Amino acid sequence: MTENDGYTASELLAVMSARLLEDGQCVFAGVGIPLLAATLAQRVHAPGLTILFEGGVVGPFVVPGELPPTTNEQRCTRRANMVMGITDVLLLLQRGYVDVGFMGGAQIDRYGNLNSSFIGDPDDPKVRLPGTGGGNDISSLTQMIVAMKHEKRRFVDKVDFITSPGFLAGGTSRGDSGLVTGGMYRVVTDLAVLGFDERTRAMKIAALHPGVTAEEVRDNTGFDLPIEAQAPTTEPPRAEELAALREFDPERLYIA
Amino acid sequence: MSQPYLDLRAKTKARDRRLRDKVMSLEAAAALVGDGDHVALGGCTASRTPFAMIWALVRAKRKGLTISRSIVSTEGDVLFASGVSAHIMTSWFSQGIVWGISKVMRHYTESKRARFEEWSHMSMGLRYRAGAMGLPFLPARSMMGSDVAARLGDEVRKMTCPYTGEQLVLLPALNPDVALIHVPRCDAYGNAQIDGLQFMDADIAMAANKVILTTERIISNDQIRRAPDHTKIPFFTVDAVVEVPYGSAPHECYGLYEPFFGHMDDYAEQTARDPEAGAKDYLERFYYAPESWADYLGLIGMDAVLDAARRGRSITND
């Protein structure tokens, strides 16, 4: 995607993932695109969406132009219903109050496992990444939506390190490991919306963004990616959605 | 890191837990931290980081500390680059997502000169909570199946629930030797009131064997008693109180100042160019050269202080 389409790849990501959030849901949102998309959903179609931030925030409304740099700063608490400790807000996931966990990803594999810890051998890494934060807890305990750029180096057959569990080795392996709830629901990229097979738990194309072919998605993916029969094409970002996004992030911290 | 229960009880019993004045200087408080101690930091990422105490520990040339915190930001860079610590236990370690991956963290961990021991965020919290509860571990339903747990080896064990037969992960307690916590206000005895985000601070204070508070201001015990429901850390867990205005700079303190974004942008740029030399130069200029904390703030700049304060106080404008 380029500016020629009237929106950036990040804007497309934010809009497409916002649309997956439903009014009345409780969403645990990470910083960056997830925060922006959840805020966008609140504004456009889900005014009753409850956002939780890892810093311990329940039900805030982020102020346009004052996006928080992390989910642990005072900007996250604007118009919140409650602030609580970090451990307690994360325990809401375990108790079952959270419908959707929503985060970004550095590297993902065919079973939706996410890596944000090491590129290369963990004992001798090429890059030490910042780590899990709450990612492991969120993906262990609730249904997940992940928003990320679609690049071959990010969509790999097997992640170097499972930081946040998807369906592990596929099939029933997630449940067998002790993770009896949650799992990957959707991965939203700048090319497509991806889902997971009910039985094998392998990733597949659920919808294509406007002007994108299945071939193009496969060319940017490091493993075999089937397409659902009659996978629809998503509706392009609407002017209303883009305007709201740009109002929230005028300095383009997240949507550049 | 968890300690035999009776040792923990004996250490607690030996502490002077009277309602007594604990106010002291940064330097005197720094002397309460020993080389090799496990030091837990309050706050999270760029919020209520106990930077004034860290600054004092760097200047006192403390060595071999094991550091733990919920999420580590630029204070982790400072602790690695100064040689104060070569082992940090946390769930996430970088300046903040908008600044990208910390080059200093990468430099020291990838060259194996320092270790970043990774736990999930909730696991860190439950480890402090187990410590605060006087239990050796807490069970949870997170971390299973992941390489985060696998990499921690024997430190993370599993059990079958004796009631339900379910698999659970067990998280060992943390009872830090010392906790460093920055708060907006407390009295001279250490009753601390924390506005806004609470992070893991109350659990850390309860779990630790020693607590050093830095505070934006010291208020009277009468004021504490007028709103005891606002007190989050009770005096008998606290061993030292240091009054340090802007004690989290360049990070934020809820309702008082936001992060000093300009300073943090400059820091990120300087350390990205050359992680080791950049961090060393930063330490020289902001940690070793200033004569006092006020001098340090002066180097960051009055305009930056006022801007951070204006943004910080804006939280109560609506």
pLDDT (tens digit, 9 = 90+) per residue, B179-229? 999 999 999 999 999 999 999 999 999 999 999 999 999 999 999 999 999
Residue A2 has pLDDT above 60, yes or no: no
CB contact under 8 A, B145 and A173: yes
d(CA A90, CA A98) in angstroms, rounded, equals 10
pLDDT computed for residue B149 by the predictor = 98
d(CA B309, CA B136) in angstroms, rounded, equals 42
Looking at the partner chain, which of A56, A91, A140 has a beta carbon nearest the beta carbon of B143? A140
Nearest Cα of chain B lies from the Cα of A71 at a distance, in angstroms, of: 9
d(CA A256, CA A251) in angstroms, rounded, equals 9
Containing B141, the helix (H) or strand (E) segment is none
B2 pLDDT band, cuts 50/70/90, is: low
Task: Return mean pLDDT, chain B.
Answer: 97
Q: Residues A11, A22, A54, A241: which is the catalytic one?
A: A54
The structural domains of chain A, with segments of one domain joined by +, span 1-99+236-256, 105-233
Suggest the residue from B147, B164, B260 to mutate for an interface test with chain A (most A CBs closer than 10 A): B147
Closest alpha carbon within chain A to B196:
A83
Q: Which CATH class is domain A1-99+236-256?
A: alpha beta
pLDDT tens column, B156-171: 999 999 999 999 999 9
Average pLDDT over every residue of A99-116: 96
Task: Return mean pLDDT, chain A.
Answer: 95
Residue with tokens 């799992």: A183
Looking at per-residue pLDDT, the higher value among B121 and A228 belongs to B121
pLDDT computed for residue A3 by the predictor = 47
Nearest Cα of chain B lies from the Cα of A43 at a distance, in angstroms, of: 19
Average pLDDT over every residue of B70-80: 98
CB contact under 8 A, A74 and B252: yes
Q: Which CATH class is domain A105-233?
A: alpha beta
3-state helix vs strand vs coil in chain B, percent to 5: 40, 20, 35
CB contact under 8 A, A136 and B101: no
> Helix A33-44 crosses helix A239-248 at what angle (to 10 degrees)?
130
A69 pLDDT band, cuts 50/70/90, is: confident
Residue B6 has pLDDT above 50, yes or no: yes
d(CA B44, CA A56) in angstroms, rounded, equals 11
pLDDT computed for residue B1 by the predictor = 59
- Residues of chain B positioned with their CB less than 8 A from the CB of A168: 145
d(CA A62, CA B259) in angstroms, rounded, equals 17
Looking at the partner chain, which of B105, B123, B126 has a beta carbon nearest the beta carbon of A128? B105
CA-to-CA separations, B303 to B48, B266, B269, B290, B307, in angstroms, rounded: 21, 15, 20, 18, 6
Type of residue found at A147: A
Beta bridge partners of B241: B23, B213
pLDDT computed for residue A67 by the predictor = 87
Question: ω into residue A237 within 30 of 0, thus cis?
Answer: no
Looking at the partner chain, which of A31, A131, A179 has a beta carbon nearest the beta carbon of B145? A179
CB contact under 8 A, B203 and A177: no
Nearest Cα of chain B lies from the Cα of A62 at a distance, in angstroms, of: 12
Closest alpha carbon within chain A to B43:
A72
CB contact under 8 A, B47 and A73: yes
CB contact under 8 A, A74 and B202: no
Q: Is A54 a catalytic residue?
A: yes
pLDDT tens column, B102-114: 999 999 999 999 9
Looking at the partner chain, which of B96, B110, B198 has a beta carbon nearest the beta carbon of A56? B198
Q: Do A1-99+236-256 and A105-233 share a fold?
A: yes
How would you list the strands of the sheet with A26-29, edge to edge?
Answer: A82-83, A57-58, A50-53, A26-29, A100-104, A143-147, A183-188, A192-196, A203-208
Average pLDDT over every residue of B297-306: 98
CB contact under 8 A, B144 and A179: yes
DSSP state of B309: H
- Residues of chain B positioned with their CB less than 8 A from the CB of A122: 147, 151
Type of residue found at A184: M
Looking at the partner chain, which of A85, A90, A122 has a beta carbon nearest the beta carbon of B198? A85
A37 pLDDT band, cuts 50/70/90, is: very high
CA-to-CA separations, B290 to A244, B61, B257, B286, in angstroms, rounded: 46, 15, 22, 6
Spell out a b/e string for B285-296, using b for 16 or more CB atoms within 10 Å of the CB, else e.
ebbeebeebeeb
Cα–Cα nearest to A42, from A22, A68, A58: A22
Helices (H), chain A: 9-18, 33-44, 86-95, 135-141, 173-176, 214-219, 239-248
Q: Where in chain A does DSSP place strands (E)?
A: 26-29, 50-53, 57-58, 82-83, 100-104, 107-108, 114-115, 118-119, 127-128, 143-147, 183-188, 192-196, 203-208
pLDDT computed for residue A254 by the predictor = 80
Average pLDDT over every residue of A149-165: 97
**All domains in chain B, ordered by first residue:** 19-135+174-316 (3.40.1080.10)
